Amino acid sequence: MSGRLVLVRHGQTHGNVDRRLDTRPPGAELTDLGREQARSFARGLPRPPAMIAHSIATRAVQTASEISTVISEVISTGLSAGGGRALAAGMHEFEGIHEVQVGELENRSDADAHDEFNAVYRRWHAGEHALALPGGETAQQVLDRYLPVVEQLRNSYLEDHTFPGDIVVVSHGAAIRFVAAVLAGIDSQFALDHHLANTESVVLAPAAEGRWNCVQWGLLTPPFESGAAAVTTVEDASRSAEPMG
Protein backbone atom coordinates (compact mmCIF):
# COMPACT_ATOMS: atom_id res chain seq x y z
CA MET A 1 0.00 0.00 0.00
CA SER A 2 1.44 3.32 -1.04
CA GLY A 3 -1.47 5.62 -0.24
CA ARG A 4 -1.84 7.48 3.05
CA LEU A 5 -4.55 9.33 4.94
CA VAL A 6 -3.84 13.04 5.17
CA LEU A 7 -6.12 14.29 7.96
CA VAL A 8 -6.17 18.04 7.47
CA ARG A 9 -7.87 20.59 9.65
CA HIS A 10 -10.16 22.99 7.77
CA GLY A 11 -9.18 26.57 6.99
CA GLN A 12 -9.80 29.51 9.31
CA THR A 13 -13.46 30.28 10.02
CA HIS A 14 -15.28 33.27 11.45
CA GLY A 15 -15.85 31.11 14.53
CA ASN A 16 -12.10 30.58 14.88
CA VAL A 17 -11.53 34.32 14.71
CA ASP A 18 -14.05 34.80 17.52
CA ARG A 19 -12.52 31.88 19.51
CA ARG A 20 -15.95 30.25 19.64
CA LEU A 21 -16.51 26.57 20.36
CA ASP A 22 -18.26 26.11 17.03
CA THR A 23 -18.77 22.35 16.70
CA ARG A 24 -22.38 21.71 15.65
CA PRO A 25 -22.78 21.31 11.87
CA PRO A 26 -23.19 23.13 9.59
CA GLY A 27 -21.20 25.75 11.55
CA ALA A 28 -19.36 28.87 10.44
CA GLU A 29 -18.01 29.57 6.98
CA LEU A 30 -14.39 30.13 6.01
CA THR A 31 -12.84 33.57 6.12
CA ASP A 32 -10.97 34.87 3.08
CA LEU A 33 -7.79 33.82 4.85
CA GLY A 34 -9.25 30.36 5.40
CA ARG A 35 -9.87 29.96 1.68
CA GLU A 36 -6.31 31.03 0.90
CA GLN A 37 -4.99 28.62 3.54
CA ALA A 38 -6.83 25.79 1.78
CA ARG A 39 -5.36 26.77 -1.58
CA SER A 40 -1.86 27.04 -0.11
CA PHE A 41 -2.24 23.60 1.47
CA ALA A 42 -3.20 22.13 -1.90
CA ARG A 43 -0.27 23.79 -3.65
CA GLY A 44 2.10 22.39 -1.00
CA LEU A 45 1.09 18.74 -1.38
CA PRO A 46 3.95 16.58 -2.65
CA ARG A 47 1.62 14.93 -5.15
CA PRO A 48 -2.04 15.32 -6.12
CA PRO A 49 -4.29 13.14 -3.95
CA ALA A 50 -6.43 10.42 -5.47
CA MET A 51 -9.45 11.43 -3.37
CA ILE A 52 -10.65 14.33 -1.24
CA ALA A 53 -12.99 13.43 1.62
CA HIS A 54 -14.65 15.90 3.96
CA SER A 55 -17.05 16.17 6.87
CA ILE A 56 -20.58 17.56 6.67
CA ALA A 57 -19.58 20.90 8.24
CA THR A 58 -19.65 23.96 5.97
CA ARG A 59 -16.02 24.82 6.73
CA ALA A 60 -14.87 21.34 5.69
CA VAL A 61 -16.93 21.42 2.49
CA GLN A 62 -15.51 24.83 1.57
CA THR A 63 -11.94 23.79 2.40
CA ALA A 64 -12.28 20.63 0.32
CA SER A 65 -13.70 22.63 -2.58
CA GLU A 66 -10.77 25.05 -2.55
CA ILE A 67 -8.31 22.16 -2.40
CA SER A 68 -10.11 20.37 -5.23
CA THR A 69 -10.02 23.47 -7.44
CA VAL A 70 -6.26 23.86 -7.04
CA ILE A 71 -5.61 20.14 -7.54
CA SER A 72 -7.74 20.13 -10.70
CA GLU A 73 -5.70 23.03 -12.05
CA VAL A 74 -2.45 21.22 -11.23
CA ILE A 75 -3.65 18.02 -12.87
CA SER A 76 -4.94 19.88 -15.92
CA THR A 77 -1.58 21.57 -16.35
CA GLY A 78 0.19 18.23 -16.01
CA LEU A 79 -2.08 16.52 -18.52
CA SER A 80 -1.66 19.31 -21.06
CA ALA A 81 2.09 18.90 -20.67
CA GLY A 82 1.84 15.17 -21.30
CA GLY A 83 1.92 14.00 -17.66
CA GLY A 84 -0.28 13.75 -14.59
CA ARG A 85 -3.50 11.82 -14.08
CA ALA A 86 -7.12 12.51 -13.27
CA LEU A 87 -8.38 12.88 -9.69
CA ALA A 88 -9.26 9.20 -9.38
CA ALA A 89 -12.18 9.24 -6.96
CA GLY A 90 -13.14 12.90 -6.70
CA MET A 91 -14.73 14.49 -3.60
CA HIS A 92 -16.80 12.58 -1.05
CA GLU A 93 -18.73 13.67 2.05
CA PHE A 94 -18.77 11.48 5.16
CA GLU A 95 -21.15 11.79 8.10
CA GLY A 96 -18.92 10.62 10.94
CA ILE A 97 -15.83 12.82 10.76
CA HIS A 98 -17.18 16.13 12.08
CA GLU A 99 -15.80 17.88 15.14
CA VAL A 100 -16.14 16.73 18.76
CA GLN A 101 -19.59 17.87 19.90
CA VAL A 102 -19.28 20.12 22.95
CA GLY A 103 -22.97 20.24 23.90
CA GLU A 104 -23.73 22.98 26.42
CA LEU A 105 -20.43 24.72 25.62
CA GLU A 106 -21.47 25.33 22.00
CA ASN A 107 -20.70 28.83 20.67
CA ARG A 108 -19.10 29.98 23.91
CA SER A 109 -15.80 31.85 23.68
CA ASP A 110 -15.08 32.57 27.34
CA ALA A 111 -12.10 31.20 29.22
CA ASP A 112 -14.28 29.09 31.54
CA ALA A 113 -15.78 27.23 28.58
CA HIS A 114 -12.37 26.65 27.06
CA ASP A 115 -11.03 25.40 30.39
CA GLU A 116 -13.97 23.03 30.82
CA PHE A 117 -13.48 21.59 27.34
CA ASN A 118 -9.76 21.19 27.85
CA ALA A 119 -10.23 19.45 31.20
CA VAL A 120 -12.49 16.80 29.66
CA TYR A 121 -10.37 16.49 26.51
CA ARG A 122 -7.24 15.85 28.59
CA ARG A 123 -9.03 13.05 30.42
CA TRP A 124 -10.05 11.51 27.11
CA HIS A 125 -6.41 11.32 26.09
CA ALA A 126 -5.67 9.71 29.45
CA GLY A 127 -8.09 6.91 28.59
CA GLU A 128 -11.41 8.04 30.14
CA HIS A 129 -13.42 7.32 27.01
CA ALA A 130 -16.79 7.09 28.80
CA LEU A 131 -16.52 10.67 30.09
CA ALA A 132 -18.89 13.11 28.38
CA LEU A 133 -18.67 16.81 27.74
CA PRO A 134 -21.62 18.59 29.42
CA GLY A 135 -24.57 17.79 27.15
CA GLY A 136 -22.11 16.63 24.48
CA GLU A 137 -20.25 13.54 23.35
CA THR A 138 -18.08 11.01 25.09
CA ALA A 139 -14.72 10.05 23.63
CA GLN A 140 -16.14 6.63 22.77
CA GLN A 141 -18.96 8.20 20.78
CA VAL A 142 -16.42 10.17 18.77
CA LEU A 143 -14.46 7.00 18.05
CA ASP A 144 -17.61 5.03 17.23
CA ARG A 145 -18.57 7.45 14.45
CA TYR A 146 -15.11 8.41 13.20
CA LEU A 147 -13.24 5.11 13.05
CA PRO A 148 -15.68 3.34 10.69
CA VAL A 149 -15.04 6.06 8.11
CA VAL A 150 -11.29 5.60 8.47
CA GLU A 151 -11.66 1.84 8.06
CA GLN A 152 -13.95 2.29 5.05
CA LEU A 153 -11.37 4.48 3.35
CA ARG A 154 -8.66 1.98 4.15
CA ASN A 155 -10.56 -1.13 3.08
CA SER A 156 -12.18 0.32 -0.04
CA TYR A 157 -9.24 2.34 -1.33
CA LEU A 158 -5.88 2.17 0.42
CA GLU A 159 -5.93 -1.65 0.57
CA ASP A 160 -6.55 -1.71 -3.19
CA HIS A 161 -3.14 -1.84 -4.83
CA THR A 162 -4.58 -0.19 -7.96
CA PHE A 163 -5.67 2.90 -6.02
CA PRO A 164 -3.28 5.61 -7.22
CA GLY A 165 -2.42 7.77 -4.22
CA ASP A 166 -3.28 9.52 -0.97
CA ILE A 167 -6.66 10.44 0.46
CA VAL A 168 -6.95 13.97 1.83
CA VAL A 169 -9.57 14.02 4.61
CA VAL A 170 -10.77 17.50 5.57
CA SER A 171 -11.82 17.25 9.19
CA HIS A 172 -11.47 19.09 12.52
CA GLY A 173 -8.66 19.77 14.97
CA ALA A 174 -9.77 18.18 18.24
CA ALA A 175 -11.24 15.14 16.49
CA ILE A 176 -8.13 14.63 14.35
CA ARG A 177 -5.73 14.85 17.29
CA PHE A 178 -7.72 12.44 19.43
CA VAL A 179 -8.45 9.87 16.70
CA ALA A 180 -4.91 9.97 15.29
CA ALA A 181 -3.41 9.48 18.76
CA VAL A 182 -5.61 6.44 19.32
CA LEU A 183 -4.96 4.91 15.89
CA ALA A 184 -1.20 5.42 15.85
CA GLY A 185 -0.46 5.07 19.55
CA ILE A 186 0.81 8.66 19.83
CA ASP A 187 1.95 9.86 23.25
CA SER A 188 -1.10 11.52 24.80
CA GLN A 189 0.80 14.51 26.15
CA PHE A 190 2.34 15.10 22.72
CA ALA A 191 -1.14 15.16 21.17
CA LEU A 192 -2.38 17.58 23.81
CA ASP A 193 0.64 19.87 23.47
CA HIS A 194 0.72 19.98 19.68
CA HIS A 195 -2.38 21.68 18.38
CA LEU A 196 -3.09 21.84 14.67
CA ALA A 197 -3.30 25.28 13.13
CA ASN A 198 -5.80 25.75 10.31
CA THR A 199 -4.88 23.48 7.35
CA GLU A 200 -2.14 21.69 9.27
CA SER A 201 -2.42 17.93 8.98
CA VAL A 202 -1.66 14.57 10.53
CA VAL A 203 -0.51 11.96 8.00
CA LEU A 204 -1.22 8.29 8.72
CA ALA A 205 0.24 5.40 6.72
CA PRO A 206 -1.35 1.92 6.81
CA ALA A 207 0.81 -0.67 8.57
CA ALA A 208 0.60 -4.44 9.01
CA GLU A 209 -2.31 -6.12 10.79
CA GLY A 210 -4.62 -3.12 10.55
CA ARG A 211 -2.31 -0.74 12.40
CA TRP A 212 -1.38 2.81 11.41
CA ASN A 213 1.91 4.68 11.54
CA CYS A 214 1.94 8.45 12.01
CA VAL A 215 4.52 9.87 9.61
CA GLN A 216 3.80 13.57 10.11
CA TRP A 217 2.08 15.72 12.74
CA GLY A 218 1.79 19.33 11.66
CA LEU A 219 5.35 20.34 10.81
CA LEU A 220 6.89 17.54 12.88
CA THR A 221 8.06 14.05 11.95
CA PRO A 222 8.74 11.03 14.22
CA PRO A 223 9.51 10.43 16.98
CA PHE A 224 6.40 12.02 18.50
CA GLU A 225 7.31 12.36 22.15
CA SER A 226 5.91 14.59 24.87
CA GLY A 227 9.15 16.55 25.12
CA ALA A 228 9.10 17.55 21.45
CA ALA A 229 9.04 21.31 21.01
CA ALA A 230 5.91 22.73 19.41
CA VAL A 231 6.52 24.72 16.23
CA THR A 232 5.03 28.19 16.63
CA THR A 233 4.55 30.83 13.96
CA VAL A 234 3.31 34.41 14.18
CA GLU A 235 -0.05 33.28 12.80
CA ASP A 236 -0.66 30.57 15.42
CA ALA A 237 1.09 32.11 18.42
CA SER A 238 -2.23 32.45 20.26
CA ARG A 239 -3.59 29.05 19.22
CA SER A 240 -3.80 27.91 22.88
CA ALA A 241 -6.79 30.23 23.23
CA GLU A 242 -8.64 28.06 20.70
CA PRO A 243 -8.88 24.53 22.12
CA MET A 244 -10.34 22.85 19.06
CA GLY A 245 -7.12 23.21 17.05
Q: How far apart are CA 231 and CA 150, in angstroms?
A: 27
Q: What is the CATH number of the domain that holds 54?
A: 3.40.50.1240
* Mean pLDDT of all residues in 146-173: 96
Q: Does residue 235 form part of some domain?
A: no
Instruction: Give the residue numbers spanning the domain of 129.
Output: 5-218
> Total domain count for the chain?
1
Residue 45 is assigned to a structural domain of this protein: yes
- What pLDDT shows up at residue 95? 97
**What global pTM score does this model have?**
0.91
CA distance 136 to 228: 31
* Position 106 in a domain: yes
Are 108 and 17 in contact by the 8 Å Cβ rule? The answer is no
Model pLDDT for residues 111-134, shown as the tens digit of each residue: 999 999 999 999 999 999 999 999
CA dihedral 143, 145, 146, 149 (to 10 degrees): 140
Any domain includes 240: no
What strands, in cross-sheet order, belong to the sheet with 51-54? 91-93, 51-54, 167-171, 5-9, 201-206, 212-217
pLDDT over 80 at 84, yes or no: no
